[in-house]
Amino acid sequence: DNLLAHFESQVAKNPDNIAFEFENSAVSYSELDDLSNRIAHYLKKDYDLKQGDLVGVFLHRSEQLLPALIGILKAGCAYLPIDPELPDNRISYYITDSSLKLILSEESFRERLGVFDENILFLEDIKTIETVPCFESISSSLKANDLCYVIYTSGSTGTPKGVEITHGNVLNLLLDLQERIAISASDRFLATTTYSFDISVLELFLPLITGSTVVLVSSETSKDADSLKKILLNHAISFMQATPS
């Protein structure tokens, strides 16, 4: 069993449900599935990525994030989230320590990432993602013990260490929470956490295996209490995860 199988079951059940919203963008389950399939096949065709390879994600929190994450998983790879707000020395350490096969990023970071020798794919360089051939999903070959993502510890007790999380690990958490909080396809989950922190996996993927909606906010909005309050009130948010402060 793998995370994508549960997402794809929702694509089949609820293709027209909104999978995620970001600012003025709203993307349905079928659209998200299509976009991520195209990215996956592009990665495999042009970068010869193999199952289990690790791909860095260096993106703003925007409408590009979820298609990129799911596309990487659909390619049979695992992702390493690298928050652009981290200091450069931490970013450099993650990239060199993790043996990444590729970094997936965006044009605004071209100059910043230019100091690295790794393969870097800027999403804008996939000329028009709609023109990339789309084939059937390839996620069925993934197993519970296949790598899903790697997240680094804070390093507060020493050198940061990359922790490998499998599809089975992720599903163990999400399926338990799905039952405990009784989330349903009509719910809307506000996602505020940096994707380089592991609680983001709950915010991004629990809704997507349930048929509900991820309401993704920018890094700037997530830090502003008044903006979050307005979103909670105006966007019919059902769930939000946050630290008590």
- Which residue, among 64, 111, 112, 63, has the nearest Cα to 84 in the 3D structure? 112
In this prediction the pTM is: 0.93
Q: Cβ(65)–Cβ(200) under 8 Å?
A: no
- Which residue, among 159, 167, 138, has the nearest Cα to 49 in the 3D structure? 138
Spans of the chain below 70 pLDDT: 117, 127-140, 245
Q: Cβ(104)–Cβ(123) under 8 Å?
A: yes
Q: Which long-range contacts (CB under 8 A, 24 or more apart) does 184-187 make?
A: 184/210, 184/211, 184/212, 185/10, 185/13, 185/14, 185/17, 185/210, 185/211, 185/212, 186/212, 186/238, 187/212, 187/213, 187/238, 187/239
CA atoms within 13 A on the CB side of 212: 25
Q: pLDDT value at position 215?
A: 97
Q: Distance of alpha carbon 127 from its chain centroid, rounded? A: 21
Q: pLDDT value at position 138?
A: 59
Q: pLDDT value at position 242?
A: 80
- Which residue, among 212, 222, 225, has the nearest Cα to 181 in the 3D structure? 212
Q: Cβ(219)–Cβ(85) under 8 Å?
A: yes
In tens, the pLDDT along 170-211 reads 999 999 999 999 999 999 999 999 999 889 999 999 999 999
* Cβ neighbours of residue 196 closer than 8 Å, sequence gap 6 or more: 81, 82, 83, 86, 151, 152
Beta bridge pairs of residue 147: 166
Q: pLDDT value at position 130?
A: 59
